[in-house]
Amino acid sequence: MARRKLGGLRILVTGASQGIGRALVVEAAKRGSRVLAAARSQQLLDELAAEVRASGGTIETVAADVTKPEDRQAMVEAATRHFGGLDVLINNAGIGATGHFMDSEPDVLRKIFETNFFGLTETTRVFLPLLKQGTTPAIVNISSVVGKRALPARSLYSSSKFAVMGFSEAIRAELAKDGIDVIVVSPGLTQTNFSKNMLEQKAKIQLDHLRGMTSEEVATATLRALERGKLDVTLTFKGKLLVLVNRFAPWIVDFFARKKVRELFADEIAERKKKQEEVLK
């Protein structure tokens, strides 16, 4: 667990055009890091680069989709070409969906895993040779509170983040011999456009009004963890409380989750019960 100064470090941020990723790029550049920003939209990357350079920051960009092998290789080539290597990889790119599992299509879950898990793991894989040669190297995986405690109507997104957590814990030990830290940051509900970019929104309850932390606050907390060498960070008071209660009394979370679902589907439950009674007559 290395402490590190961000000034001069070479940092790649995926999913950098919006939300937490964008805030990470801006904040890291302010602290003197040399940042490579990767995202699918070249237009948004150009706007980000102009902002960072106007403030005196160092930034390069690469249009890339983490789900595509050729784009992952393009990120490696960009890091080598512009900075001669990489010190910190921040795997931030992600997509989501809400709704109950039984109402979703298989391809939605696969698309989420392609970005949130396989995109993350394979981006990590291609950058390991560079990171092994880096200065106080680290991999930062942006997960979620629901990657520590799953909630109803978030099963698809939550399962991908649980996978990220498991992967991170395993490679943390594997990469210790190479001096590479593996840090997991689990934000709670954050004020971003994430919900607008979801593949599906079928949840009966929308949680946007509960989004507390700003992208800038998440970025600051993430970079602080990177500086201090903290390996597992959970954000927001409600997020920490959920994880704490689930650790010692998971039945409490289960109870209230089931209770809320029954309330939301009261009409459906009553109709099913009515049909069952009619069959028994």
Q: Which of 157, 162, 167, 194 is catalytic?
A: 157
| 74: exposed, middle or buried (Cβ count in 10 Å: 0-12, 13-18, 19+) | middle
* Contacts with 121 (C-beta within 8 Å, 6 or more apart), sequence order: 167
Query: Residue 36: which H helix or E strand, with range?
Result: strand 34-39
For residues 148 and 94, the answer to whether their CB atoms sit within 8 Å is: no
**Is residue 73 annotated as part of the catalytic site, yes or no?**
no
* Contacts with 25 (C-beta within 8 Å, 6 or more apart), sequence order: 13, 16, 35, 37, 48, 52, 59
Please identify which residue in the block is written with the tokens 């949130």: 116
- Cα 38–Cα 41–Cα 45 angle in degrees, nearest 5: 60
**Beta-strand (E) ranges in 41-105?**
58-63, 88-91
From residue 133, alpha-carbon distances to 10, 85, 136, 159 in Å are 12, 8, 9, 33
3-state secondary structure of 240: helix
CA–CA separation, 39 vs 15, rounded Å?
A: 5
* Contacts with 54 (C-beta within 8 Å, 6 or more apart), sequence order: none
CA–CA separation, 76 vs 122, rounded Å?
A: 12
Catalytic positions are 157
